Structure 1
Amino acid sequence: MRCIRALSVGLVLLAVAGCASLNPFPSHIYSTPPSSRDTPGPVTHDPKTNPYTVLGQTYYPLTSAQGYDEVGDASWYGEDFHGKKTANGQIYNMHGISAAHKTLPLGTRVRVTNLENGRNVTLVINDRGPFVRGRIIDLSHGAARQVGSVERGVVRVRVTALDSPPVEPTRYATSAIKYYHVRVGAFAIRSNAVRVYDQLVASGYGEARVSTVESNGMTLHVVQAGSFVSRDKAEQVLARLKPSFPASYIAS
């Protein structure tokens, strides 16, 4: 089965990249994050909850995940998208623990329970999809392995929101929330950045990300362990990372 998937470049979902792949499991369909071609005009929503349109249907993500509890089918996606960007700009790691959802705010932490065997996993929503009726969540390969759904491809699950990400101000707001970013390093070679990113995810930093910046005519790939509203929390994370990553620092 072939599928088409558009990958957004950043939190505002402004750019796309498409790809086609052969599905290893006939019952499994990959996520389909939104295409910026169909995104409505001015962005007046929090970037985590921007409305978007896929295959002619417009989706309006929830402004809060509080009280979300739903039963439906879960699929998973793997190596075809490994190393590519998810809807919130993070680099997809098929071996990590994450998932795609159509309407939960990006950054929402949920518990996914396989109703066929009782196994569950806690993860963060960082992508959009799957856009197939009845399928409510698309797991990373690592998450699917945790709940025992890799071989089945599609299983019945319960998705329960554990917390909702803070709402950031829109472009029309009069004040902004200050975030403290724990950065591990900046690399000219992207593969080096991805290697460090994989180490962070394996160590439990599920919200780690790689972003690309231009500095003095150079392209650098910045690895970030996480972003925090609290400076104290950022300092705690920095202290844990320093022994393994002595170049780590806090930016705001």
Structure 2
Amino acid sequence: MRQLIALFVLAVLLALAGCGSMNPYPEHVYSTPPSKDRTGGLDPKTKPYTVLGKTYYPLKSASGYDEIGLASWYGSDFHGKKTANGQTYNMYGVSAAHKTLPLGSRVRVTNLENNRSVILTINDRGPFVNERILDLSYGAARKLGTVDSGVVKVRVTSLTAEVVPTRLAEPRDKLYHVRVGAFAVRENALHVHRQLLSAGYRGANITVVDRDGQILHIVQAGSFQSRGQAERVMEALKGDFPTCYIIS
């Protein structure tokens, strides 16, 4: 009888020890592995968070981020309160809130209605309204001329440089692509694609890419064998798409 009791106690202790070694971040909590800082904890700049029942998974890097969407601004209701990165929000300063860019990211924001732009730092999370992609500080909104309109279409471009290995020689089949924009909303990309086709750019295309969990629809007017060709197309498009540019 004593042997049976001893075996039972041993089994219970082994079960408890197994529970203590379980992964504290099960797969149904994180759809992508959380970023780690040097101490082994969650990196506060890219830490997943939940708002209104929805969990957001920030990008691990802002490198290559380029998106067009709606931007709003926020002011006195949050003035003096803590931002997501622990700073005190100054509505008269130049900053912005974004749902998934790493906190501390430096970006260029361009108002596509008047072509004014400002360089700022992402220091907060939001906006969590409709399909807006950016919440500007009052100071940033003033520089962009968006205070009165409230919500405007902007382009958000990361200033984080991506390290590219140096090549000794360029491939002979190198092409130059005229990129019109990158859109999180597919309908916006389709609308621009139709505009390009109607204007005679038969090589216009849409490419879907996944940048660390962020799905973007890249719209290009076409691909060309010489930079001169690409530059002529870019100049022709500047009137309707002032922020288009060339990549190779």
* TM norm structure 1: 0.48
Whichever structure has more strand as a proportion of its residues is: 1
* TM norm structure 2: 0.48
Whichever structure has more helix as a proportion of its residues is: 2
* Structure with the greater alpha carbon radius of gyration: 2
